[in-house]
């Protein structure tokens, strides 16, 4: 019907042109973003699945990084054990040398001194070797490496100090721990500034038997002193006043109270000989009530190369220590291999999920390009037909004229 008021053909052409244009815009969006699903309206179910997969991919990738960090932690400990290996070999060499009858007691004393220093270095390595504040060569703590949903690989530390290995030249009789119950992080103030009197000599005096060390804290009167700095101060003063190279102080993490504590280890053979006092009012450090004694009277293995008999005994102890060290070093090795396998599996899982996510979410460029070409043609045809339809009412003017 030829009409002037309503142009049904134009409305129809405009509707089809709008649909073609919307489809063309959707194709342009998909090709420019590379994604088939750009919003929930594109594929609501597919979007939900894609987001879950993306979350799993992120978790697997972080789990892989966790495992790689665990490998780094193990490599740090294993590198330190390599040095301990060399030290133990030298100690066995010294023990063999001192066991023969062709050396004098004075010469054996020199050998014993070197042997003792090597043992102290083993203890220092075991105490100081750490990775992000975790230590694998002192204590028996367990560290869980999280590699996925409810999945962990546990790494257990092992004490590798000279006393535990049985090659220390001095027996460890007692360990004392300052039970302050305040430092929840390693760098927190262990002694507050209010506890240190400014302008006077402010000492903590402590010792084992006849050996005594004096730690002056007046320089920390304005700031207080953290546990790590206190450990350094104590060891520095002990080595300066009592015995060079000896380490008596360390930081101890109490898993019961979840606090850091100052630990002083007796390097002498005198049981119960610990004493502590101070020249000024450092709260509670002037009494033994704040100190907990651990393993009272428990003698560590004492090794001496001063005699041929002692050197012969030391040979057996060093051999046992090497076996103990090798057992733990081998454990570090196969744990690294296990974590490397975990990294490979996690990377494969992440890659497989990424492929699945791609199939759901990514645009098929060939298919979409074909659809875009079709929509371009339809849009161009729609524009042309809409122009023709708009011209149709003009035919009615000829009849009116």
Q: Return the higher-pLDDT residue of 20 and 286.
A: 20
Q: In angstroms, rounded to a whole number, what is the distance separating the alpha carbons of residues 202 and 221? A: 9
pLDDT score of 300 = 44
The mean per-residue pLDDT over the stretch 17-21 comes to: 84
| pLDDT at 274 exceeding the cut of 70 | no
| pLDDT at 143 exceeding the cut of 50 | yes
Q: In angstroms, rounded to a whole number, what is the distance separating the alpha carbons of residues 157 and 331? A: 10
pLDDT band at 342 (very low <50, low <70, confident <90, very high): very high
Asked whether 194 and 262 are in contact (CB, 8 A), the reply is no
pLDDT score of 351 = 92
Asked whether 270 and 208 are in contact (CB, 8 A), the reply is yes
Q: 67: exposed, middle or buried (C-beta count within 10 Å: 0-12, 13-18, 19+)?
A: buried
| pLDDT at 182 exceeding the cut of 90 | no
pLDDT band at 10 (very low <50, low <70, confident <90, very high): confident
Identity of the highest mean pLDDT range in 335-339, 373-377, 386-390: 335-339
Q: What is the mean pLDDT of the chain?
A: 81
> What percentage of the chain carries pLDDT values higher than 90?
24
pLDDT score of 259 = 76
Q: Return the higher-pLDDT residue of 2 and 10.
A: 10
| pLDDT at 374 exceeding the cut of 70 | yes
| pLDDT at 213 exceeding the cut of 80 | yes
Asked whether 161 and 311 are in contact (CB, 8 A), the reply is no
**Residue spans per domain, the chain:** 1-34+364-401, 37-162+305-362, 172-299
Q: In angstroms, rounded to a whole number, what is the distance separating the alpha carbons of residues 263 and 292? A: 9
CATH assignment, 37-162+305-362: 1.20.1330.10
pLDDT band at 280 (very low <50, low <70, confident <90, very high): low
The pLDDT tens digits for 281-299 are 455 454 545 555 544 333 4
Asked whether 166 and 320 are in contact (CB, 8 A), the reply is yes
The pLDDT tens digits for 26-57 are 888 888 887 888 888 778 888 889 889 999 99
The pLDDT tens digits for 79-128 are 999 999 999 999 999 999 999 989 888 888 889 889 988 988 998 999 88
pTM beyond cutoff 0.75: no
């Amino acid at each position: 019907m030829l009409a002037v008021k309503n142009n049904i053909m134009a409305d129809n052409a405009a509707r089809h042109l709008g649909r073609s244009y919307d489809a063309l815009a959707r194709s342009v969006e998909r090709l420019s973003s590379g994604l088939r699903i750009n919003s929930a309206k594109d594929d609501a179910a597919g979007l939900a699945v894609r987001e879950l997969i993306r979350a799993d991919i992120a978790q697997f990738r972080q789990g892989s990084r966790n495992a790689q960090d665990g490998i780094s932690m193990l490599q740090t400990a294993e590198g330190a054990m390599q040095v301990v290996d060399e030290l133990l070999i030298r100690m066995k060499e010294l023990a063999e040398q001192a066991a023969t009858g062709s050396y004098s007691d004075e010469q054996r004393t020199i050998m014993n001194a070197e042997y003792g220093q090597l043992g102290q270095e083993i203890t220092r390595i075991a105490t100081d070797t750490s990775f992000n504040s975790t230590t694998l060569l002192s204590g028996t703590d367990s560290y869980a490496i999280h590699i996925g949903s409810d999945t962990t690989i546990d790494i257990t530390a092992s004490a590798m100090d000279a006393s535990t290995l049985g090659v220390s030249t001095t027996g460890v009789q007692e360990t004392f721990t300052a039970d302050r119950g305040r430092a929840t992080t390693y760098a927190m103030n262990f002694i507050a500034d209010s506890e240190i009197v400014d302008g006077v000599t402010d000492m903590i005096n402590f010792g084992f038997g006849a050996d005594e060390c004096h730690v002056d804290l007046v320089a920390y009167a304005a700031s207080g002193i953290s546990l790590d700095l206190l450990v350094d101060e104590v060891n520095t003063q002990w080595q300066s006043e009592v015995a060079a190279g000896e380490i008596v102080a360390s930081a101890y993490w109490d898993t019961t109270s979840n606090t850091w504590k100052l630990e002083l280890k007796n390097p002498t053979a005198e049981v119960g000989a610990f004493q502590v006092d101070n020249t000024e009012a450092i709260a509670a450090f002037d009494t033994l009530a704040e100190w907990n004694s651990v393993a009272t009277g428990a003698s560590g293995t004492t090794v001496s190369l001063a005699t041929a008999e002692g050197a012969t005994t030391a040979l057996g102890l060093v051999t046992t220590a090497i076996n103990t060290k090798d057992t733990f070093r081998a454990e570090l090795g196969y744990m690294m291999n296990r974590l490397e396998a975990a990294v490979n599996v996690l990377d494969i899982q992440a890659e497989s999920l990424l492929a699945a996510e791609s199939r759901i979410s990514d645009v098929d460029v060939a298919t979409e390009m074909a659809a875009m070409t079709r929509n371009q043609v339809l849009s161009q045809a729609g524009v042309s037909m809409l122009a023709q339809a708009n011209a149709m009412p003009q035919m009615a003017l000829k009849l009116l004229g």
